[in-house]
Structure 1
Amino acid sequence: MIGSRHSHIYVDGVWQESDSDAFIDLTDPATEDWVGSVPDGSPADVASAAMAAHAALRGWAEAPSKDRAALIAALADRFDERREEIAHLVTAQNGAVISRSRRTNGTRPIALYRHYAEEAESFEPEVASADGKNIVRREPVGVVGIIIPWNAPQSLLAHKLAPALAAGCTVVVKPAQETPLDSLLIGELAAAVGFPPGVINVVTGGRTTGSAVVDDPNIDMVSFTGSTDAGRVIASRAGHLLKPVVAELGGKSAAVLLDDADLELFSDNLVTTCLPNTGQVCYSCTRVIAPRARFSDVLEVVTSCLASAQVGDPLDPGTVFGPLVSAAQRARVEDYIDSARAEGARVTLGGGRPSIATGFYVEPTVIVDVDRTMRVFREEIFGPVLVVVPHDGDEDATRMANDSSYGLGGAVFSRDVERATAVARKMHTGRISINARSHGVSDPAEGYKDSGVGGSLEISSHLRLKSIAGVADVDRHAKSARQ
């Protein structure tokens, strides 16, 4: 995959020459070397993929649930065989440190595919109504247009693709223009394990390609992860077309430290909680809200942890912070740091570029004396930048955490779990971790406020419900539908 000029997209079970004569060049964020190029897919490419998905829909939807489950499980197994290759392929495109890429583009996608294979195995297309007199039939919504970002492409693809397939939907995948190669590889794996032609289709491209996915009449639902600005455009267009949309959008999450927080535990989990993937994760807790009485201690912990973290080659297993995805993203992050200084905040660590010859690097940066009206407090930066602000008790900390237009992630640290839980219940956000406990693959992940629309993504998100009254033997018909 790396070092090649790809001219094909994956449509209807075969590699099809793209209709577009435009290409997107890919750059390694660490070396700034050319990685490869892919077609900048045209609306005609999307139309071809959507027609193939539409044609395959009936056969896939009517296939026994156990057959769909077997193919999803086979995809997990084939992915597992090539997980190391996939992790390196993603790192070459987005600069993610390899230790993280092995998890987010290896371990987690496999877990997601296997989880939804199990869910598909027990899926019941027909169930009795609440009063037991009628049938409720659960049918796939249709063709799903999946649009994914570049920061954790395989986790996010599996998070969308697996439940869609389990529900009986067919799909058109549009990967981010920064990370298309690994999604093309999924097309290869799908063909290898025997997915019927048209069930999984992959079209590479940029914004025009994504817009075509939303607009195509053969695409019945849009599943999107990306920025809030892009999400507003997609949701607006999908609303006009009366298409369901599920969108996970931006975030500006808070890590709330109560006055009894275990600072050693916080230090051990600081990077994964606050700046995973060099801060390029939508649920990153980039606002650290610390008790005023322990503010200097918290700042010392944050500074010591980030100052000692290795910055550099993302392929080195010891590297904690790699490059940002592009020169444009680096410029965006640097602009935020400059704005903080201009507005009167103080940079206590980092704030510049490390002494590395090539790559789109920014030093891990800590900012204090931050007013809650400042851009660095309110806006998503998507880089290795933390703001640390003081609070005056649990209620004040909760108000500060909620003082955001976003509501995606969050964290609470306290030796008193019940107290931490009480704070978490009052936080206006969809996912909260107490003392760095991780979420399971089946846990809901719903964005509040500007962080999402359409609810949490699961099999039920991809279903339409049909009520059938007057059936002679409800239980017999429901059992027959499962077979």
Structure 2
Amino acid sequence: MVSNAVFKIEKPKNEPVLSYAPGTKEREELKARLVELRTQEIEIPLIIGGKEVRTGKLGMCIIPHNKEVVIGRYHMAGEKEVNDAIEAALAARHDWESMPWEHRASIFLKAAEMLAGTCRCTINAATMLCQSKTAYQAEIDSACELIDMLKFNAYFLNEIYKEQPESTKDSWNRMEYRALEGFVFAVTPFNFTSIAGNLPTSAAMAGNVVLWKPASSAVYSAYHVMTILRKAGLPDGVINFIPGPGNVLGSIALLNPWLAGVHFTGSTATFQSMWQTVGQNLPNYRTYPRLVGETGGKDFVFVHPSADLEPLVTALVRGAFEFQGQKCSAASRAYVPESMWPALKKRLVEEISTTKMGDIEDFTNFMGAVIDAQAFRSIKGYIDYAKESPEAEIICGGNADDSVGFFIEPTVIVTTNPRFKTMEEEIFGPVLTIYIYKDEEIEEALDLCDSTSIYGLTGAVFAQDREAIVKIEKRLTHAAGNFYINDKPTGAVIAQQPFGGARASGTNDKAGSKINMMRWVSPRAIKEHLNPPVGYRYPFMDEK
């Protein structure tokens, strides 16, 4: 029997961040769970149509800060498994999109409560070990942000469903919000467990079926999310978990006629390649696929001469070096007035010298390791380039060591060239490049800030002069999709700062907002005439 009630989801409140301070219960539980997970190796299968699939082609899940420790081995999908996953998703599609929306939402709301309770220390410990995040960085990501994503997306979907057109005395007009006709291909990054969980679930919540390809370096934490979703009651085939090489999986999924959408977070080059593939195959699809992507960033901090020194120092250290700079929003370039530079340089070097880097199970460490050997080599290459350039000076950091884990010191480069390589290109590591401008050339500096990078994700201004803030905010309108005033350019919170940027940073569909959820529904307008006309003639056709 179909329910005849109209259900309502109350607007959630953001999940409180636990402190993990000495003496707290959560700290004790998390430390114990870290030891448990670190000392066991798990086997991770594919999940296709609810069945565990083992291909025998294995990849390893290692701890970045202790690279010899293997915490998991995962089976990789190939051509057969991708086709099987598409078939399973399409088989589940009718029942899933036909399920009353409140029952779909209930599954994800239950998963959120599991994450907030019994599964919290497990998902945080898995993220800490898999991605070398500190307790705080894991807590705000894999616990709080993922909980918020699930709860708020259910609320946003409810708000969308409530939006209805105007009716008249003769017609009752309605709008229904269908799932997309086909499957959604969700390709998720290594750096945020919350993003890895959100990309498949936001589409699924709206009635879509999904193929989920997690980043190879974060299969371990993604699998823990998938396990929680299944325990929360997610039906078989709705989300199919298929880790494996992106070029193999993508070449099959993107060419399938039933591709209805892509939900992506990753590199600009990869997303552009995917978009190009879709564009070249438009005649083959049943519908125009929705392409939603959040890609790269070269995020800035623009400093006005009126800025307060200490908040600026804190923002640069946290914004550039938390989670080893492996955030799309990380502060990567800064523009500093000449008058402030001597004092800022002194305090910045002093503050960075107090930071500790190492094993994240030592809670006194501010930083862990970068994600893998490839990232280590890439980041080190940028630092070595700066070391050899006459246009750059490294004022702190600059060292890298991969003997135990993939450790790179927090590094600050000062350049005399505003278009120096490390001012322009995304590094995705703990490297901040500073350009010092003459106070009287602030207009030129703003032009440089706006034009140097191809990206437009996040940025910040530090100033106490309100007129300057207004002017800079306006001047940098298109330079950042998330703009911060007297704060670091990282740390967007669901429903408070919907996240996303334009230019080469993505489609700006604002994860953590109703805007994003609208991308996963296909509206159908329905008109029911209550007083249908009889006869085709209109009054204007009559003669006296």
TM over 0.5, shorter chain: yes
Deviation, structure 1 residue 469 = 4.4
Q: Does 1:372 align with 2:418?
A: yes
TM-score normalized by structure 2?
0.81
Aligned length, in residue pairs:
469
Q: Which amino acid aligns with 2:326?
A: Q
Task: Pick closer, same or farther for the CA change 1:150–1:187 going to 2, 3 Å.
Answer: same
Q: How far apart, CA to CA, are the structure 1 residues paired with 2:498 and 2:365?
A: 31
Map 1:155-234 onto structure 2 (within 5 A).
Answer: 155-207=194-246, 208-234=248-274
Q: How far apart, CA to CA, are the structure 2 residues paired with 1:42 and 1:7?
A: 15
Task: Pick closer, same or farther for the CA change 1:108–1:126 going to 2, 3 Å.
Answer: closer
Identify the range of structure 1 (343-352 vs 261-270) with the bigger mean alpha-carbon deviation.
261-270
Q: Which amino acid aligns with 2:199?
A: K
- 1:40 touches 1:209 (CA, 8 Å); kept in 2? no
Q: Give unpaired runs (5+ residues) of structure 1.
A: 474-483
SS at match of 1:395: helix
Q: Give unpaired runs (5+ residues) of structure 2.
A: 1-36, 283-288, 532-544
Which residue matches 1:51?
87
Q: How far apart, CA to CA, are the structure 1 residues paired with 2:448 and 2:327?
A: 21
Task: Pick closer, same or farther for the CA change 1:308–1:210 going to 2, 3 Å.
Answer: farther
Q: How far apart, CA to CA, are the structure 1 residues paired with 2:281 and 2:108?
A: 31
Q: Does 1:433 align with 2:490?
A: no
Deviation, structure 1 residue 129 = 5.6
Task: Pick closer, same or farther for the CA change 1:247–1:122 going to 2, 3 Å.
Answer: closer
- 1:46 touches 1:216 (CA, 8 Å); kept in 2? no
Which residue matches 2:187?
147
Which residue matches 1:79?
115
Q: How far apart, CA to CA, are the structure 2 residues paired with 1:227 and 1:300?
A: 35
Which residue matches 2:308?
262
- 1:135 touches 1:467 (CA, 8 Å); kept in 2? yes
Q: How far apart, CA to CA, are the structure 1 residues paired with 2:165 and 2:102?
A: 21
For residue 462 of structure 1, the aligned residue among 489, 495, 520 is 520
For residue 24 of structure 1, the aligned residue among 27, 48, 59 is 59
Q: How far apart, CA to CA, are the structure 1 residues paired with 2:470 and 2:237?
A: 46
Q: Which amino acid aligns with 2:400?
A: R
- 1:145 touches 1:219 (CA, 8 Å); kept in 2? yes
Q: Show CA shifts across 1:369-399 (max 9, x none).
A: 2412321111011111111112335533422
SS at match of 1:322: coil
Map 1:402-481 onto structure 2 (within 5 A).
Answer: 402=450, 403-417=452-466, 419-427=468-476, 428-436=479-487, 439-442=492-495, 443-453=497-507, 455-457=509-511, 458-469=516-527, 471-472=529-530
Deviation, structure 1 residue 471 = 4.1
Q: How far apart, CA to CA, are the structure 1 residues paired with 2:260 and 2:42?
A: 32
For residue 338 of structure 1, the aligned residue among 374, 379, 384 is 384
Q: Which amino acid aligns with 1:198?
A: G
Identify the range of structure 1 (342-351 vs 6-15) with the bigger mean alpha-carbon deviation.
6-15
Q: Does 1:353 align with 2:403?
A: no
- 2:44 touches 2:223 (CA, 8 Å); kept in 1? no
Identify the range of structure 1 (74-83 vs 118-127) with the bigger mean alpha-carbon deviation.
118-127
Deviation, structure 1 residue 315 = 2.0
Deviation, structure 1 residue 414 = 1.6
Q: How far apart, CA to CA, are the structure 2 residues paired with 1:240 and 1:410?
A: 34
Q: How far apart, CA to CA, are the structure 1 residues paired with 2:449 and 2:74?
A: 41
- 2:42 touches 2:71 (CA, 8 Å); kept in 1? no
- 1:166 touches 1:459 (CA, 8 Å); kept in 2? no
Which residue matches 1:477?
none
Q: Which amino acid aligns with 2:129?
A: A
Q: How far apart, CA to CA, are the structure 1 residues paired with 2:414 and 2:226?
A: 47
Q: How far apart, CA to CA, are the structure 1 residues paired with 2:175 and 2:467?
A: 40
- 2:179 touches 2:207 (CA, 8 Å); kept in 1? yes
Task: Pick closer, same or farther for the CA change 1:453–1:348 going to 2, 3 Å.
Answer: same
Task: Pick closer, same or farther for the CA change 1:472–1:259 going to 2, 3 Å.
Answer: farther
Which residue matches 2:141?
104
Which residue matches 1:481?
none
Deviation, structure 1 residue 333 = 1.0
- 1:167 touches 1:460 (CA, 8 Å); kept in 2? no
User: What is the alpha-carbon root mean square deviation over aligned residues?
Assistant: 2.4
Q: How far apart, CA to CA, are the structure 1 residues paired with 2:485 and 2:429?
A: 23
User: Quick one: percent identity of the two aligned structures?
Assistant: 25
- 2:123 touches 2:225 (CA, 8 Å); kept in 1? no
Q: Which amino acid aligns with 1:467?
A: A
Task: Pick closer, same or farther for the CA change 1:333–1:260 going to 2, 3 Å.
Answer: same
Which residue matches 1:399?
447
Q: Show CA shifts across 1:403-450 (max 9, x none).
A: 211111111112245632442233222111112275431343232211
Q: Show CA shifts across 1:338-369 (max 9, x none).
A: 11233321111111126x85111111111112
Which residue matches 2:325?
279
TM-score normalized by structure 1?
0.90
- 1:148 touches 1:174 (CA, 8 Å); kept in 2? yes
- 1:311 touches 1:319 (CA, 8 Å); kept in 2? yes
Task: Pick closer, same or farther for the CA change 1:170–1:329 going to 2, 3 Å.
Answer: same
Identify the range of structure 1 (229-238 vs 182-191) with the bigger mean alpha-carbon deviation.
182-191
Task: Pick closer, same or farther for the CA change 1:212–1:420 going to 2, 3 Å.
Answer: farther
SS at match of 1:390: strand
Q: How far apart, CA to CA, are the structure 1 residues paired with 2:458 and 2:96?
A: 35
Structure index of larger Rg: 2
- 1:343 touches 1:374 (CA, 8 Å); kept in 2? no
- 2:499 touches 2:510 (CA, 8 Å); kept in 1? yes
- 1:6 touches 1:36 (CA, 8 Å); kept in 2? yes
Q: Which amino acid aligns with 2:522?
A: R
- 2:398 touches 2:410 (CA, 8 Å); kept in 1? yes
Q: Which amino acid aligns with 2:484?
A: S
Q: How far apart, CA to CA, are the structure 1 residues paired with 2:482 and 2:296?
A: 13
Q: How far apart, CA to CA, are the structure 2 residues paired with 1:115 and 1:95?
A: 27
SS at match of 1:220: strand
- 1:65 touches 1:123 (CA, 8 Å); kept in 2? no
